[in-house]
Structure 1
Amino acid sequence: MKKIFYFIILLAVFSSCSDELNQLPISSATTETFYKSTNDFLQGVNAVYADLRAYPDRQLNLSETRSDNLYAVSDGGVRDWEGINSFHKTIAANPYITEAWLTNYNGIYRANVVLDQLVKNGTIITDVTLRKRLEAEAKFLRATYYFDLVRSFGKVPLIITPISVSEALSIPQSPVTDIYALILSDLQFATENLSETNAAADKGRATKYSAKGLLALVYMTRSGPTYNIDGPGLGLNEWSQAITLLNSIIDSKKYSFLPSYSNIFSYTNENNPEVIFDIQYITGLSPVLGSTFAWLLVPDAYFQSKGKAIQGGLTIRPVAETLINSFEPGDVRKTFSIQSGYVYNGVSEPRSFFVKYVDLTKVPTNRLDWPINFIAQRYTDILMLKAECILHGASGTQAEVDAIVNQVRTRAGLTTPVANVTLPQLMAERQKEFMGEGLRWNDLVRSGLVETIMPDWITAEDIQKQIQPFQTNYIIYPIPQSEIDVKGGLYTQNAGY
């Protein structure tokens, strides 16, 4: 698989500390020595991209698993995902949660280093357009990391310059509104200074339209209900701001709706017209820079049943029966994305699981080196987000909403059109369209449906009686215990944990 640009991890320069509040800073002397050419800045920005490598796994572990898409309770032995799925209160030390905090802050630190050096040494880059683009890429990525943090944890420390560990020990959590202020500022700069398209050598870098897509989603998320918690929803009415950005992407004609659902995710059709922003990987290198998300929700015994080596998915995270039963006959999304059991060594596994990203002809010898990108933004999502904005009162008509949903359904092989689509119906269609892509939990929270859907789902699905009663406090995760313990009283643990 050909990849375009490398996520260069500059280990000698960008060192980090895995068990402190924030990453160890590179010394000012080292920084001043390193940033001496345009290529140095390019490598510095590439290092900021590098922290996206775990982003897909995180969305599957923290959003997909948390949602009503999976019934990931214990099947023998304690798994890290069980507490996520089952709303356990004692998950502050969960490694998935800790990873979300540390990796996002590592990306923020790297972005801050680049932005700081652009101020101090940026005139080295004589091409002013390139200089602005690199600043815009760093700000797009910093906004991405902070948005992931605010949706996961709510109030978090706001850090906009490179700081030392001792300095980090004096920075408390900031209000969600302050985090959003930085996110909006960064993304607005990115929309104004990123390129509309990238040259072939720069595929995978952020563009003006990926920044607009993320900014639209930020406005929509801010417009979601507050649930009376310090979470991502602020109850604002910014649907009109969002739809203006979404329409700009649609009207650009840079992207298009693929007629084949499976072709969106084909290993031989990457960077297709559906892709607005994806996480790029390259295989066959040392250190390994391939992906791992393809097998994350797939049990190892399934690969063994196909004569392949185990990958790392361990045991099964079954697709919820309520989701399986929601599909209409002939829906190609179900047959493409869900594997209905298997037999290995004479033992039958009847439960279903997601295989959306698995091509059995592409299974690598190294389970950490899968040759597939992760689509973080795609055109169908932009269309359906537009429909969501219209249903919330933004400019548009019911006919437009219905047309978007019917376009999606037709591609899925469904011939019966729908009319007068409501918000719950739209979100149900999004569930089927984007299952296994890590969007579902945030969709439920943003739409305000999480309070009704999750309790009803637990009642219908939890045959093992393992899931705790849903509380709105569980919309966000606890601050990692390792961060709470670094300095007593610096952070306040999120309610409910």
Structure 2
Amino acid sequence: MKKIYILPLLAATLFFSCTNELDQNPVSDIGSENFYRDEDDFEQAINGIYSSLQTYPDHQLVLSEIRSDNMYAITNSGIRDHEPVNNFFPTIATNSYIAEVWSKDFEGILRANTVLDRMTDEAVPDENMRNRMIGEARFMRAFFYFDLVRFYGKVPLLDHVVTPEESLEIGRSNVSEIYTLIIADLEDAINKLPESYPAEQRGKVTLWAAKAMLGKVYLTRSGTSYDIEGPGMDSGEYDLALSLFDDIINNGPYAFIDDYDTIFAYDNENNSEIIFDIQYKDGSLGIGATYPGLFVPDNYFEAIGIPFPAGGEYKAPSENLLHSFDDNDIRYNTIFQEGYTDANGNPIADIFIVKFLDTENPGTDRFDWPINFPLIRYTEVLMMKAEAILFGGTGNPSDADEIVNRIRDRANLQPLTAVTTDQLLEEKRREFAGEGTRWHDLVRSGKVLDIMNTWIPEDDVSDKIQAPINQNSIIYPLPSTQITVKEGLYDQNPGYN
């Protein structure tokens, strides 16, 4: 069965430009004039946009999970060593992950803009196909801009291809302006995208994915602003989000899966829980997923006979996350493994995440696994509906209770009565552990400063984290390499140097 596999080199010859360098402005196009001639060319170009998602899970793991109270890094010698992004130091503008996320998101935006600028009726005469391609490009542009807004706040707004020279004159736009483009893109995508695709095209975005994304955008804009230019705007658009979530729940082709473990099974990909995911394949081309290996210690791979390019450290669950699970919660054993025996027969007590790991179906090495990464799950749509109700929407609170208890029942837990926002946030934390949602959820809820400033003193036994944190930590700094592209073009986010 054909998939939309993520190919890291796909379309490199089409779109490769100075934007691939972290010390350059990521906004130019030198696509071949001999390309974009017909439907096949544009199909390849569309796949090139998807390929910018290749490392997206790795970035969410570090900038969302490790930034939060969910995880930290453990060295091979067993020493806890918080990632630089988890230290909350003001000097992290030089961090490679912060630069890579910026670069990859703008790479995707460049590729989407190139498709939209080059699209013509002559090249793609079939109107339905042309509309679908435009819808895909606009969805992906919105997706990457939403990522940028949540991590950096104000960013350059580019709705068309610009030259490198022009890019040096484009400063940062306000968050509200970026959201205007995101919403317009998603609304157009909803009108142009199909409800489904043939099996050989699984992985492409549908109108349902666009509706889910737009609902999340409204939910995020409605979140707490903290009086900064960040993702939350206190906009009160909960009912707009609710109408989209209800449409998906009532009319979409998705279904709640009763067995949590099977949602992530290798032999059950593209199941009814998945609204949008990143499709990966293993093999010698190196087009498998890298993120499962980031959760696991090197010695474990040695013990099971899988090549393990040295990672130096692995991303471990915090004690706080582990202790949040009830003893009866069956999700625990799907998400975590407690201990293993190393290659020398010694018992090792490490606890690590195996939610996306199947040692019976390994890839070629530690960073090559044939498992897709869920970007939007049906359960998240349900929980976002509950969130919209509890945080100010006009829905019935009993609907939120029903949603949360349905998820708890799947986890073998007792029901709750009159679910609170704190209980909802903790339930989502457990349900989506390791999926890159935690920091975004905390920020949106308005509770991130209270929760993190309570957790840090409890967890930071080696006194490595600068605390208490304040509203400046809600978003990241711009990469230092961007600040030096042109003096005065970009101002750094407050609190960073």
TM-score normalised per structure 1: 0.94
User: 1: CA distance between counterparts of 2:252 and 2:363?
Assistant: 36
User: 2: CA distance between counterparts of 1:221 and 1:447?
Assistant: 9
Deviates more, 1:13-22 or 1:338-347: 338-347
Alpha-carbon shift at residue 475 of structure 1 (Å): 1.0
Alpha-carbon shift at residue 102 of structure 1 (Å): 0.4
User: 2: CA distance between counterparts of 1:423 and 1:479?
Assistant: 32
3-state SS in 1 of match to 2:276: strand
Which letter does structure 2 place at the counterpart of 1:284? G
- The 8 Å contact of residues 3 and 282 in structure 1, kept in 2 or not, is answered as no
- The 8 Å contact of residues 73 and 81 in structure 2, kept in 1 or not, is answered as no
Alpha-carbon shift at residue 318 of structure 1 (Å): 2.4
- The 8 Å contact of residues 72 and 85 in structure 1, kept in 2 or not, is answered as no
User: 2: CA distance between counterparts of 1:74 and 1:178?
Assistant: 42
Deviates more, 1:405-414 or 1:359-368: 359-368
Aligned to 2:111: 110
Alignment of 1:295-444 (within 5 A): 295-344=293-342, 345=344, 349-414=348-413, 416-444=414-442
Asked if residue 19 in structure 1 is aligned to residue 18 in structure 2, the reply is no
User: 2: CA distance between counterparts of 1:312 and 1:395?
Assistant: 52
CA separation of 1:185 and 1:51: change in aligned 2, threshold 3 A: same
Alignment of 1:201-220 (within 5 A): 201-220=200-219
Which letter does structure 1 place at the counterpart of 2:114? V
Alpha-carbon shift at residue 314 of structure 1 (Å): 3.1
Aligned to 2:456: 458
Aligned to 2:50: 49
Alignment of 1:251-330 (within 5 A): 251-284=250-283, 286=285, 288-330=286-328
Q: Which runs of 5+ in 2 are unaligned?
A: none
CA separation of 1:24 and 1:447: change in aligned 2, threshold 3 A: closer
3-state SS in 2 of match to 1:157: coil
CA separation of 1:81 and 1:131: change in aligned 2, threshold 3 A: farther
| 1:16-61 Cα deviation digits (max 9, x unpaired) | 3313433474447x23x21111111111111111101111111111
Q: Which runs of 5+ in 1 are unaligned?
A: none
User: 1: CA distance between counterparts of 2:45 and 2:252?
Assistant: 32
Alpha-carbon shift at residue 329 of structure 1 (Å): 1.4
3-state SS in 1 of match to 2:226: coil
Which letter does structure 2 place at the counterpart of 1:60? L
Aligned to 1:35: 36
Aligned to 1:228: 227
Alpha-carbon shift at residue 160 of structure 1 (Å): 1.3
Alpha-carbon shift at residue 84 of structure 1 (Å): 1.1
RMSD of equivalent CA atoms = 1.9
| 1:418-437 Cα deviation digits (max 9, x unpaired) | 11000010000000000000
3-state SS in 2 of match to 1:376: strand
User: 2: CA distance between counterparts of 1:302 and 1:337?
Assistant: 16
Alpha-carbon shift at residue 335 of structure 1 (Å): 1.3
CA separation of 1:380 and 1:313: change in aligned 2, threshold 3 A: farther
Count of aligned positions: 490
Alpha-carbon shift at residue 394 of structure 1 (Å): 1.6
3-state SS in 1 of match to 2:12: coil
User: 2: CA distance between counterparts of 1:285 and 1:80?
Assistant: 33
Deviates more, 1:190-199 or 1:315-324: 315-324
Aligned to 1:170: 169
User: 1: CA distance between counterparts of 2:466 and 2:75?
Assistant: 13
User: 1: CA distance between counterparts of 2:47 and 2:159?
Assistant: 19
Alpha-carbon shift at residue 3 of structure 1 (Å): 4.5
Alpha-carbon shift at residue 333 of structure 1 (Å): 1.1
Alpha-carbon shift at residue 80 of structure 1 (Å): 9.5
Deviates more, 1:426-435 or 1:360-369: 360-369
Which letter does structure 2 place at the counterpart of 1:113? T
- The 8 Å contact of residues 306 and 366 in structure 2, kept in 1 or not, is answered as no
- The 8 Å contact of residues 61 and 81 in structure 1, kept in 2 or not, is answered as no
User: 1: CA distance between counterparts of 2:226 and 2:193?
Assistant: 35
Alpha-carbon shift at residue 369 of structure 1 (Å): 2.6
Alpha-carbon shift at residue 455 of structure 1 (Å): 0.5
| 1:70-122 Cα deviation digits (max 9, x unpaired) | 1337676999961112212211111100000000001100100000011xx33
3-state SS in 2 of match to 1:316: strand
3-state SS in 2 of match to 1:352: strand
- The 8 Å contact of residues 224 and 233 in structure 1, kept in 2 or not, is answered as yes
Which letter does structure 1 place at the counterpart of 2:272? P
Alpha-carbon shift at residue 478 of structure 1 (Å): 0.6
Aligned to 1:449: 447
CA separation of 1:326 and 1:19: change in aligned 2, threshold 3 A: closer
User: 2: CA distance between counterparts of 1:249 and 1:95?
Assistant: 37
Aligned to 1:123: 122
Alpha-carbon shift at residue 267 of structure 1 (Å): 0.4
- The 8 Å contact of residues 158 and 173 in structure 1, kept in 2 or not, is answered as yes
User: 2: CA distance between counterparts of 1:186 and 1:116?
Assistant: 14
Asked if residue 159 in structure 1 is aligned to residue 162 in structure 2, the reply is no
- The 8 Å contact of residues 295 and 312 in structure 1, kept in 2 or not, is answered as no
User: 2: CA distance between counterparts of 1:64 and 1:418?
Assistant: 26
User: 2: CA distance between counterparts of 1:271 and 1:200?
Assistant: 10
Alignment of 1:57-206 (within 5 A): 57-72=58-73, 82-118=83-119, 121-206=120-205
User: 2: CA distance between counterparts of 1:73 and 1:468?
Assistant: 19
Deviates more, 1:34-43 or 1:311-320: 311-320
| 1:293-349 Cα deviation digits (max 9, x unpaired) | 111121111222333322554323321111111211121111111122334346654
3-state SS in 1 of match to 2:108: helix
User: 2: CA distance between counterparts of 1:229 and 1:76?
Assistant: 40
CA separation of 1:75 and 1:449: change in aligned 2, threshold 3 A: farther
| 1:160-209 Cα deviation digits (max 9, x unpaired) | 11112121111111100111000000000011111011111211000000
Which letter does structure 2 place at the counterpart of 1:333? R
User: 2: CA distance between counterparts of 1:203 and 1:80?
Assistant: 39
Q: Quick one: percent identity of the two aligned structures?
A: 45
3-state SS in 1 of match to 2:191: helix
User: 1: CA distance between counterparts of 2:407 and 2:158?
Assistant: 41
Which letter does structure 2 place at the counterpart of 1:468? Q
| 1:199-233 Cα deviation digits (max 9, x unpaired) | 11211000000000010000011011111211111
Which letter does structure 2 place at the counterpart of 1:65? I
| 1:112-139 Cα deviation digits (max 9, x unpaired) | 0000011xx3332121011011001000
CA separation of 1:23 and 1:472: change in aligned 2, threshold 3 A: closer
CA separation of 1:279 and 1:346: change in aligned 2, threshold 3 A: same
CA separation of 1:459 and 1:20: change in aligned 2, threshold 3 A: closer
